[in-house]
Amino acid sequence: MTILKILRYPDKRLRQIAKPVKKITFKTKLLINNMFDTMYAAGGIGLAATQVNILQQIIVIDISIKPDEKQLILINPIIIEMDGSASIEEGCLSIPTKHAMVPRAQYVKVKSLDLYGNHVEFEASNLLAICIQHEIDHLYGKLFIDYLSESQNDIDLKINRKKIIITK
């Protein structure tokens, strides 16, 4: 089992844009295994390669939380359709102290490569659709806090500042 280091906000490397995978090699498969190990160890339901400082368009997801239950691997994913709206209190393994409601599509249709390099298309809704949108954002250097208003982010800053004063 290999646990990779997850970059934490405000690390600028989280803002980098990942490149499409040209060839799926043994190294790619090893990275994907390590990403699943890292995601389960951190208690997450998704992880993008950007979060472990690998600038390749690779995402692992398992919304069942239990290892090997329902693993989803997305290579070079793109959203080709989206519909509806949905929000849940989102978290991020790169911003562990913050949770917030983020406006997302309730339904997405995704085109990507699977582990064998086959082109696949599938539909997702609700939590899975939200998780896919959150992870694809990571590949473009976007974080869920970017969707929040300045005042929403400010409130947390003030609360944190207050906390620091109290603990002093």
The contact set with ligand K1U (CB under 6 A) reads: 43-48, 65, 88, 90-94, 130-131, 134-135, 138
CB of 64 to ligand K1U, least distance (A): 10
Residue 49 binds Zn ion, judged by CB under 5 A: no
Active site residue 135: yes
In the list Zn ion, ligand K1U, none, the entry touching 131 (Cβ below 5 to 8 angstroms by class) is ligand K1U
Residues 81-100 that bind Zn ion (CB under 5 A): 92
Give CA separation, 27 vs 31, 34, 53, 67, 99, in Å: 6, 10, 15, 21, 33
Taking CB atoms, the residue at the shortest distance from ligand K1U is: 91
CA separation for the pair 148, 128 (Å, rounded): 21
Spell out the residues 6+ positions from residue 23 whose beta carbon is closer than 8 angstroms to its own: none
Which one, 118 or 153, has the nearer CB to ligand K1U?
153
Minimum distance, C-beta of residue 29 to Zn ion, in the bound complex (Å): 23
Binding residues for Fe cation: 92, 134, 138
**C-alpha distances in angstroms, 3 versus 31, 69, 86, 122, 133?**
10, 19, 32, 29, 24
> Using alpha carbons only, how large is the chain's radius of gyration in Å?
16
Nearer to Zn ion, 47 or 110 (CB): 47
Q: Is the dihedral of CA 150, 151, 156, 162 positive or negative?
A: positive
Task: Give the residue with the Cβ less far from ligand K1U, 23 or 76.
Answer: 76
Q: How far is CA 42 from CA 59, 60, 97, in A?
A: 15, 13, 13
Q: State in angstroms the smallest separation of the CB of 128 from ligand K1U.
A: 10
Which of 81, 90, 123, 135 is flagged as catalytic?
135
Active-site residue numbers?
135
